[in-house]
Amino acid sequence: MLNYIYSIRQEFIFKMAKNENKDFFRRVFEVVRRIPCGKVTTYGAIGNYLGLKSSARMVGWAVNSLKYEMDYPCHRVVNRNGELTGKMHFASPSQMRELLEAEGIEFLDERVNMKLHFWEPSQ
Protein backbone atom coordinates (compact mmCIF):
# COMPACT_ATOMS: atom_id res chain seq x y z
CA MET A 1 0.00 0.00 0.00
CA LEU A 2 2.82 2.41 0.85
CA ASN A 3 4.46 1.76 -2.51
CA TYR A 4 1.17 2.57 -4.25
CA ILE A 5 0.79 5.82 -2.31
CA TYR A 6 4.42 6.73 -3.01
CA SER A 7 3.91 6.00 -6.72
CA ILE A 8 0.79 8.19 -6.91
CA ARG A 9 2.61 10.99 -5.05
CA GLN A 10 5.63 10.78 -7.37
CA GLU A 11 3.38 10.84 -10.43
CA PHE A 12 1.58 13.93 -9.12
CA ILE A 13 4.87 15.70 -8.35
CA PHE A 14 6.21 14.80 -11.79
CA LYS A 15 3.11 16.11 -13.58
CA MET A 16 3.22 19.35 -11.58
CA ALA A 17 6.92 19.79 -12.25
CA LYS A 18 6.47 19.12 -15.95
CA ASN A 19 3.62 21.61 -16.25
CA GLU A 20 5.32 24.33 -14.21
CA ASN A 21 8.75 23.87 -15.70
CA LYS A 22 8.15 23.22 -19.38
CA ASP A 23 10.92 25.61 -20.32
CA PHE A 24 13.37 23.88 -17.98
CA PHE A 25 12.40 20.47 -19.36
CA ARG A 26 12.77 21.74 -22.93
CA ARG A 27 16.27 23.00 -22.11
CA VAL A 28 17.17 19.62 -20.57
CA PHE A 29 15.92 17.89 -23.72
CA GLU A 30 18.15 20.11 -25.88
CA VAL A 31 21.22 19.20 -23.82
CA VAL A 32 20.42 15.48 -23.86
CA ARG A 33 20.07 15.56 -27.62
CA ARG A 34 23.60 17.03 -27.92
CA ILE A 35 25.42 14.32 -25.91
CA PRO A 36 27.87 12.79 -28.38
CA CYS A 37 27.94 9.11 -29.18
CA GLY A 38 30.52 7.37 -26.98
CA LYS A 39 30.15 9.94 -24.19
CA VAL A 40 28.01 10.29 -21.08
CA THR A 41 27.08 13.18 -18.85
CA THR A 42 25.44 13.44 -15.46
CA TYR A 43 22.16 14.81 -14.19
CA GLY A 44 24.12 17.31 -12.10
CA ALA A 45 26.29 18.44 -15.01
CA ILE A 46 23.19 19.19 -17.05
CA GLY A 47 21.67 21.10 -14.14
CA ASN A 48 24.87 23.10 -13.62
CA TYR A 49 25.03 23.92 -17.31
CA LEU A 50 21.45 25.20 -17.17
CA GLY A 51 22.31 27.42 -14.21
CA LEU A 52 20.57 25.42 -11.51
CA LYS A 53 23.34 23.87 -9.46
CA SER A 54 21.19 21.63 -7.26
CA SER A 55 18.66 20.50 -9.84
CA ALA A 56 19.90 16.98 -10.58
CA ARG A 57 16.60 15.46 -9.46
CA MET A 58 14.58 17.77 -11.73
CA VAL A 59 16.91 16.84 -14.60
CA GLY A 60 16.19 13.20 -13.78
CA TRP A 61 12.44 13.83 -13.98
CA ALA A 62 12.89 15.54 -17.33
CA VAL A 63 15.01 12.69 -18.70
CA ASN A 64 12.52 10.12 -17.36
CA SER A 65 9.72 11.85 -19.27
CA LEU A 66 11.62 11.01 -22.48
CA LYS A 67 11.78 7.28 -21.83
CA TYR A 68 9.63 6.44 -24.86
CA GLU A 69 11.25 9.00 -27.16
CA MET A 70 13.83 7.27 -29.34
CA ASP A 71 15.19 10.57 -30.71
CA TYR A 72 16.89 11.36 -27.41
CA PRO A 73 19.94 9.43 -26.17
CA CYS A 74 18.72 9.20 -22.56
CA HIS A 75 20.95 6.19 -22.01
CA ARG A 76 23.91 8.61 -22.03
CA VAL A 77 22.83 10.29 -18.78
CA VAL A 78 24.23 8.64 -15.63
CA ASN A 79 24.70 9.66 -12.03
CA ARG A 80 27.85 11.45 -10.81
CA ASN A 81 29.52 8.14 -9.98
CA GLY A 82 28.91 6.70 -13.43
CA GLU A 83 26.16 4.38 -12.18
CA LEU A 84 23.22 3.57 -14.43
CA THR A 85 20.53 4.83 -12.09
CA GLY A 86 18.08 5.29 -14.97
CA LYS A 87 18.24 1.67 -16.14
CA MET A 88 14.86 0.86 -14.60
CA HIS A 89 13.19 3.07 -17.21
CA PHE A 90 14.35 0.94 -20.14
CA ALA A 91 12.70 -2.15 -21.64
CA SER A 92 15.04 -4.41 -19.66
CA PRO A 93 17.44 -3.74 -16.78
CA SER A 94 20.41 -4.43 -19.04
CA GLN A 95 19.35 -2.35 -22.07
CA MET A 96 20.94 0.90 -20.91
CA ARG A 97 24.32 -0.76 -20.44
CA GLU A 98 23.99 -2.61 -23.75
CA LEU A 99 23.33 0.66 -25.60
CA LEU A 100 26.35 2.30 -23.96
CA GLU A 101 28.63 -0.65 -24.67
CA ALA A 102 27.49 -0.64 -28.32
CA GLU A 103 28.83 2.94 -28.48
CA GLY A 104 32.21 1.83 -27.11
CA ILE A 105 31.73 3.03 -23.55
CA GLU A 106 33.89 1.12 -21.09
CA PHE A 107 32.80 0.08 -17.63
CA LEU A 108 34.74 -0.41 -14.42
CA ASP A 109 32.63 -3.06 -12.69
CA GLU A 110 29.11 -1.60 -12.74
CA ARG A 111 30.14 2.02 -13.44
CA VAL A 112 30.98 3.94 -16.58
CA ASN A 113 34.65 4.89 -16.80
CA MET A 114 33.98 8.58 -16.30
CA LYS A 115 37.61 9.58 -16.88
CA LEU A 116 37.35 8.33 -20.45
CA HIS A 117 33.76 9.07 -21.34
CA PHE A 118 32.49 12.10 -19.42
CA TRP A 119 31.12 14.91 -21.57
CA GLU A 120 30.79 18.40 -20.12
CA PRO A 121 27.69 20.12 -21.57
CA SER A 122 29.47 23.49 -21.75
CA GLN A 123 31.95 22.12 -24.31
Residue positions annotated with a catalytic role = 74
Backbone angles phi, psi at 57, to 5 degrees: -65, -40
User: Would strands 111-112 and 77-78 be described as parallel, antiparallel, or unpaired?
Assistant: unpaired
116 Cβ partners below 8 Å, 6+ apart? Answer: 106
As a 3-state breakdown, the chain gives helix, strand, coil percent values, each rounded to 5, of 55, 10, 35
